């Protein structure tokens, strides 16, 4: 579930399900997901409160409550929010439940997360994880005059820099991989070696990759049967959609980075 487009879809879902509603019951028994909170504090912070807004920055969600409290949600690798009828039995991998009331209409919003890498943090103020995030490419836009120097002063591989949440919030392995392919930039190129035209191409690539994933991961988007919508992510060994060369991969920052050795040739 986790990358900017998926989290944005989750945000829109939660907006439809919970904004304007009052939380009538809240439970999460998983201390690992709640870290550093506790099940009792979670329930206490939420029950009786009204949900005013669902915001997103990068891969984090923030539910704003009418008493000033906030619930922060990170989906980790496998988290997702779903809506169920009130009283529906817990399903596989269900980790938290928020029953909400809108007038007489009751429904239950559930957090599913098989792998439990996500977070659920009830707080009275913004948490450091949220505050430390850089600009969000979708809601804040990408400011070239800010991004260019941020990349230029670092010697790390451009792909690692794009995934640095303090530089751009929400870019993960899929978006970075796809955007660099679209931009024809080798993922290993140091930030300091990028030309202005590279940075512009990367920005265009990110915008296109985000729009593409939003379109077909969203509701009524092709998300179902069929091939993944990715050009190169997860396709090592398959032909490059642009030139037919077999796609290669390297490991950067511990993450697999697929690229086309022809289109994304390292310059020197």
**Interacting residue ranges for DNA, rule: CB under 7 A:** 1-3, 6, 32, 58-59, 74, 76-78, 92-93, 114-117, 129, 154-157, 160, 163, 165, 172-174, 253-256
Residues 243 and 260 sit within 8 Å (Cβ to Cβ): yes
Between 26 and 163, CB nearer to DNA: 163
User: Catalytic residue at 227?
Assistant: no
CB of 128 to DNA, least distance (A): 8
Choice among 50, 84, 255, 261 that is catalytic: 255
Between 35 and 44, CB nearer to DNA: 35
Choice among 49, 59, 95, 212 that is catalytic: 59
Between 21 and 169, CB nearer to DNA: 169
User: Catalytic residue at 3?
Assistant: yes
CB of 156 to DNA, least distance (A): 4
CB of 69 to DNA, least distance (A): 21
Between 14 and 258, CB nearer to DNA: 258
CB of 177 to DNA, least distance (A): 8
User: Catalytic residue at 268?
Assistant: no
Give catalytic residue positions.
2-3, 59, 255
């Amino acid at each position: 579930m986790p990358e900017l487009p998926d989290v944005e879809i989750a945000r829109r879902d939660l907006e439809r399900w919970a904004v304007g509603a009052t939380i009538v019951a809240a439970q999460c028994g998983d201390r690992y997901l709640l870290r550093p909170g506790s099940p009792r504090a979670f329930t206490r912070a939420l029950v009786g409160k009204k949900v005013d807004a669902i915001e997103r920055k990068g891969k984090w969600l923030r539910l704003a409550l009418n008493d000033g409290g906030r619930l922060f949600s990170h989906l980790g690798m496998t988290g997702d929010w779903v809506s169920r009828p009130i009283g529906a039995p817990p399903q596989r991998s269900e980790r938290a439940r928020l029953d909400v009331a809108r007038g007489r209409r009751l429904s239950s919003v559930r957090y599913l997360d098989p792998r439990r890498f996500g977070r659920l943090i009830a707080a009275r103020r913004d948490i450091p994880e949220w505050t430390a995030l850089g600009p969000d490419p979708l809601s804040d836009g990408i400011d070239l005059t800010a991004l260019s120097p941020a990349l230029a002063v670092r010697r790390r591989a451009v792909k690692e820099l794009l995934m640095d949440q303090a530089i751009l919030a929400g870019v993960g392995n899929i978006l970075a991989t796809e955007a660099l392919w679209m931009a024809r930039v080798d993922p290993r190129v140091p930030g300091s070696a990028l030309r202005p035209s590279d940075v512009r191409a990367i920005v265009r690539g990110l915008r296109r990759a985000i729009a593409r994933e939003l379109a077909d991961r969203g509701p009524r988007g092709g998300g179902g049967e069929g091939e993944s919508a990715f050009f190169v992510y997860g396709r090592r060994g398959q032909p490059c959609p642009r030139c037919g060369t077999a796609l290669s991969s390297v490991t950067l920052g511990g993450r697999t980075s697929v690229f086309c050795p022809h289109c994304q040739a390292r310059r020197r």
